[in-house]
Amino acid sequence: MAETEQPQIYLITPPEIDLSGFPDRLAAVLDAQDVACVRLALATRDEDRLARAADACRDVTHARDVALVIDSHIMLVERLGLDGVHLTDGARSVRKARKELGADAIIGAFCGTSRHEGISAGESGADYISFGPVGASALGDGSMAELELFDWWSHMIELPVVAEGALDARLIADLAPVTDFFGIGDEIWTAEDPAAALAALIAAMG
């Protein structure tokens, strides 16, 4: 990736969304900023709730020509008319997802802080790799994906990479030259005006 290219925004929904208000908040953000993809990342495993959330978000994203992927649930992608799946178990399910969903589906893999897992996922057919958290977080075992990992990846591997997890303006400024996407979720949804919060983070890219 050329050093001058600015990373794209990859939005991640909150783990719980209120369908009476969230679609409008999402629409406002997509109308205000250029977003490459949205990930439906709900905590629930209730198929009906996932389907209703997917329908509401899909109406918003597809009207704006933005791809919508879902966390983990490979079998719901085609049924719900989504663009692909974001796998949270590194390289393990990538081949299966590709076989189920075909060549055109977007398949991404979250690989934590593991360079090896990222390479394996890419070889198995992932379209992008996600590393994180990049900031201090109580999630997982507390390990962080360091700048050095993204720097190495950007020089050695052509597959697009997403930086996500506990981002702030300083991290965004540091990572902007070495990542293709920023995965942004809680960083903006907890704000009163998510679109303004996202604009501030984008401004930090320099």
Question: Rounded to two decimals, what is the model's pTM?
Answer: 0.95
The mean pLDDT of 182-200, rounded to a whole number, is: 97
Residue ranges and CATH numbers for the domains of the chain are 8-203 (3.20.20.70)
Q: Model confidence over 117-129: pLDDT tens digits?
A: 999 999 999 999 9
- Whether pLDDT at 3 is above 60: no
Q: What is the pLDDT of residue 4?
A: 54
Tokens matching residue 186: 């809680």
* pLDDT, average across residues 132-150: 89
Percent with pLDDT over 90 in the chain:
94
How confident is the model over 78-97, as pLDDT tens digits? 999 999 999 999 999 999 99
Mean pLDDT of the chain: 95
Give me 68's structure tokens: 């919508």
**pLDDT reported for residue 2:** 40
Determine how many CB atoms are found less than 10 A away from the CB of residue 166.
16
Angle between helices 22-32 and 47-63 (to 10 degrees): 30
pLDDT over 60 at 187, yes or no: yes
- pLDDT band of residue 141 (cuts 50, 70, 90) is confident
Tell me how crowded residue 173 is: count the other CB atoms within 10 A of its CB.
14
Residue 98 confidence (pLDDT) above 70: yes
Q: For residue 139, name the pLDDT band (cuts at 50, 70, 90).
A: low
pLDDT at 1: 36
Q: Which residues of 38-72 are buried (b: 16+ CB within 10 A; e: fewer)?
A: bbbbbeeeeeeebeebbebbbebbeeeebbbbbbb
More confident residue, 65 or 3: 65
State mean pLDDT over 182-206: 97
